[in-house]
Amino acid sequence: MSPLALKRIFKVWLPLAASWLLMGAELPILSAFVARLAHPEINLAAYGGIVFPIALIIEAPVIMLLAASTALSKDWASYQKLRTYMLVAGGSLTGLHLLIALTPIYYWIAEGLLGAPSEIIEPARLGLLIMTPWTWTIAYRRLNQGVMIRFGHSDVVGIGTALRLTVDVYVLALTFSLKLPGIVVATSAVASGVTSEAIYSAIRVRPILRDELKPAPAVKPALSYRAFAAFYIPLVMTSLLTLLIQPMGSAALGRMPLALESLAVWPVVSGFIFMLRSMGVAFNEVVVALLDEPLAVRALRRFTAVLSVTTTGIILLIAATPLSKLWLQDLSALSPELTILARNGLWIGFLLPGLNALQSWFQGVLLNSGKTRGISEAVVVFLFFTGAVLLFGVLWGQMTGLYIGLLAFSAGMLFQTLWLFFRSRAMMAKLVARDAL
């Protein structure tokens, strides 16, 4: 048996990382356009404080379809079950999206639960309506992308994301030239981008379904709906609880000092940090896809360490040098005052990219073993510690909301990572023993 080479890991990881990195670049690019239009603070806060958190919560039941499809799309019958779930869930959640955007439920959420500043309520409602295609298109393309990764076509995923970003920029430039409101510019671009990526994935997955998935030998025992539910429900709870922190964070920031400024800067800072985190997020599917190969543990573990150290080093380098001003003020068009706020935020959130790489390693081991309950438990740990810090910040009321938000997120991810490490130890020991044979 030849050991899994780092070169092969890099070959699988690179297109996925490029895809996630391009996806992560979407929010900073949106922010840069919106910041150059009228009323930038209001429109940035409307998108980052209401539209994006609500849209993420609605899509939670389908966001883990990428991991599920990568792990389970081994034969045609299994894929059909995943596709049925995608169609039912995607359609139902799109209906829920419209119900929220078109009824008084919206005001109950935006004003009552999120406590958003009054000036961003109506712009955000318009943006939420424009974002209607978001959930179904995300569900559809993540199902297809899982099949692509499973059968060794991860490069196609990166091309699809590049197409999405290209459409984003085209729509941003068009709507920007028309001087449309910033919230319309941002949400029109996002909705157009995800729709184009879904269409592209549909076209590119067809030959893979026909020539590789359909002829694949049937899995025994066959994947039942009960087995799928046992595998996927913990993942749904994982994504739901993880994404719940977005509206929780918005609600907390809206109740702390410098609320409007914090909500306006949040998408810029979190978007930049997510660009670096995305390199670790992409590693999750790499672990799932490659862990069964001979002598994989040592190589994957080494890659995890390199990835964690590298991403942490990059964010520290940018925060400590004039590169932060270049990104935050010159490119993102933040005012000098907001630039200072955002740069301080980078220092507070410097642990996040490295923690994501570690989480993907431990989580990938759990996914590979089918023991997904530990992943849900880790998210509960994350939510508890993040929520505790946010609550402290609201009750204390003396620290800028952005800083409390990033502190809370960092504390939550740190304890989540420790829990994933604890829960994956038994499976890791079995894999190490397997490779020793």
**pLDDT tens profile 245-277:** 777 887 888 889 998 898 888 888 988 998 899
Show Cβ contacts of residue 174 under 8 Å, excluding neighbours closer than 6 positions. Answer: none
Q: What is the pTM (predicted TM-score) of this model? A: 0.76
What is the C-alpha separation between 379 and 383, in angstroms, rounded?
Answer: 6
What is the C-alpha separation between 185 and 127, in angstroms, rounded?
Answer: 9
What is the C-alpha separation between 8 and 214, in angstroms, rounded?
Answer: 26
| Both structure tokens of 231 | 């595998």
Question: What tens digit of pLDDT does each residue of 223-240 get?
Answer: 888 888 888 887 787 777
Question: What tens digit of pLDDT does each residue of 21-68 get?
Answer: 877 788 888 888 998 999 998 998 899 889 988 998 899 899 889 889
What is the C-alpha separation between 272 and 269, in angstroms, rounded?
Answer: 5
pLDDT bracket for residue 187 (50, 70, 90)? very high
